[in-house]
C-alpha cells in the first residue's frame, strides 16, 4: 500500500516547520542576489536566457548537501542506539542508515530530484571573485532580482541557514519522525509486508525531507551569505536534463528558463552586471553592454569591479 497523499502532506508539514524556524524565506523578494561566474558561464546565461541548476549530488563535489545528510545519519544512529531492545526499530533504522550511506560505490542521494543554482547577497566581493569568478577568462557577477528567480511552481529561492544548533535539532526531530511515521503507517496490509512498507514509506519521506539539505550549510561558510534556487524535477523535465563529465563523476544539470516576470515573456530578472578583475575591463564593459542590449536587456547597468584583486 503506497504512501497516501494525506500522509505525504503530513510529511511536508515537517519541512515547512523547519523552513519557518530557519527563516529560509525571510528575505526581501525585491533584493538583488548575485551569481559569480566565468566568461563561459556569463555568455551561456545571457545568450540562452536560462540559469543552470546542477543536481544536488554534484554541487561543489556534493560535499555541501552531505553536511545535512551526515547530521541526519548521526541522529538516526543515536536513536537506534537508544532503542536496543526494540527489534522493529533496530531493523528499520538499520535499513534506513544503509539507504542513506554515501561514498564510493553507493547511491546516497544520487537519485534525488532536486537541482540547485547558487547566489549570494554580496556585491563585488573579493572572496566570491576568488572562489567562482576568476577561471577560464574574465569573471562576471550577475545581479538578479530574487523574486524573479522563481522560474515556475517547482522552483523556490531560499536564504541558506548556517545555525548548527537548529540543524542538530531538526536532524534529531527528523530521525524521530522517521521511525514514528513508519510505525503509524504499519497497519492493515502493510503490516503483512513490513519490508515493502519500509521501502515505500522511506522513498517518499526521504525525498520530501531532503529538500532541506541544499538550504543548510556548515556555520564555517556563513560569510558567503548564500541564497539558492532549488528546483524539484518533474517528469515533464526529464527530456531537458543534460549531462557533463566532471572530475570524478558524470553530473546532471537542467537549464531553467523564466516563465515571465514583470510582464516579460523570456528575459531573466537581471538587474545589474559587474565585470570582474583583470585586464581590459573598459573594453569588456562596452561589449557586455552591447550583448545585453542585443538580447533585450535595454536598461541593465554594467559596472566594473572595485576589487584590486589580480588574476593569477
What pLDDT shows up at residue 106? 46
What pLDDT shows up at residue 152? 83
Q: Where do the domains of the chain lie? A: 5-304
pLDDT per residue, tens digit, the chain (312 aa), is 899 999 999 999 999 999 999 999 999 999 999 999 999 999 999 999 999 999 988 776 456 668 999 999 999 999 999 999 999 999 999 999 998 876 544 455 667 899 999 999 999 999 999 887 666 568 999 999 999 998 788 999 999 999 999 999 999 999 999 999 999 999 999 999 999 999 999 999 999 999 999 999 999 999 999 999 999 999 999 999 999 998 778 889 999 987 655 555 579 999 999 999 988 899 999 999 999 999 999 899 999 999 887 755
d(C-alpha 58, C-alpha 239), whole Å: 19
What spatial distance separates the first Cα and last Cα of the chain, rounded to whole Å?
A: 59
33, 118 Cβ separation under 8 angstroms = no
3-state secondary structure of 4: coil
Secondary structure in 3-state letters for 50-118: CEEEEEHHHHHHHHHHHHHHHHHHHHHHHHHHCCCCCHHHHHHHHHHHHHCCCCCCCCCCCCCCEEEEE
The kind and range of the H/E element at 33 are: strand 32-37
59, 66 Cβ separation under 8 angstroms = no
51, 297 Cβ separation under 8 angstroms = no
296, 267 Cβ separation under 8 angstroms = yes
What pLDDT shows up at residue 104? 46
d(C-alpha 77, C-alpha 102), whole Å: 15
What pLDDT shows up at residue 259? 66
d(C-alpha 26, C-alpha 227), whole Å: 11
Amino acid at each position: 500500500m503506497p504512501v497516501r497523499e494525506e500522509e505525504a502532506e503530513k510529511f511536508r508539514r515537517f519541512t515547512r516547520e523547519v523552513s519557518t524556524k530557519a527563516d529560509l524565506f525571510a528575505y526581501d523578494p525585491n533584493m538583488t542576489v548575485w551569481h559569480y561566474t566565468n566568461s563561459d558561464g556569463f555568455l551561456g546565461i545571457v545568450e540562452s536566457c536560462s540559469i543552470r541548476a546542477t543536481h544536488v549530488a554534484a554541487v561543489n563535489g556534493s560535499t555541501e548537501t552531505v553536511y545535512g545528510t551526515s547530521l541526519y545519519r548521526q541522529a538516526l544512529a543515536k536513536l537506534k542506539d537508544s532503542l536496543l531492545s526494540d527489534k522493529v526499530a533496530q531493523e528499520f533504522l538499520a535499513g534506513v542508515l544503509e539507504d542513506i550511506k554515501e561514498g564510493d560505490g553507493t547511491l546516497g542521494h544520487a537519485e534525488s530530484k532536486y537541482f540547485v543554482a547558487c547566489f549570494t547577497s554580496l556585491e563585488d566581493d573579493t572572496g566570491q571573485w576568488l572562489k567562482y569568478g576568476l577561471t577560464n577568462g574574465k569573471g562576471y557577477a550577475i545581479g538578479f532580482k530574487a523574486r524573479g528567480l522563481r522560474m515556475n511552481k517547482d522552483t523556490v529561492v531560499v536564504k541558506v541557514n548556517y545555525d548548527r544548533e537548529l540543524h542538530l535539532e531538526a536532524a534529531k526531530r527528523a530521525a524521530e519522525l522517521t521511525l514514528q511515521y513508519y510505525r503509524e503507517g504499519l497497519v492493515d496490509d502493510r503490516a503483512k509486508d513490513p519490508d515493502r512498507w519500509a521501502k515505500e514509506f522511506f522513498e517518499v519521506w526521504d525525498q520530501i525531507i531532503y529538500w532541506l539539505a541544499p538550504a543548510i550549510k556548515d556555520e564555517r561558510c556563513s560569510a558567503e551569505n548564500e541564497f539558492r534556487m532549488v528546483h524539484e524535477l518533474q517528469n515533464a523535465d526529464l527530456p531537458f536534463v543534460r549531462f557533463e563529465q566532471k572530475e570524478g563523476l558524470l553530473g546532471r544539470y537542467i537549464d531553467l528558463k523564466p516563465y515571465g516576470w514583470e510582464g516579460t515573456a523570456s528575459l531573466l530578472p537581471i538587474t545589474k552586471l559587474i565585470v570582474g578583475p583583470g585586464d581590459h575591463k573598459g573594453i569588456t564593459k562596452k561589449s557586455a553592454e552591447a550583448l545585453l542590449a542585443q538580447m533585450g536587456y535595454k536598461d541593465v547597468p554594467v559596472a566594473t569591479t572595485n576589487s584590486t584583486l589580480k588574476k593569477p
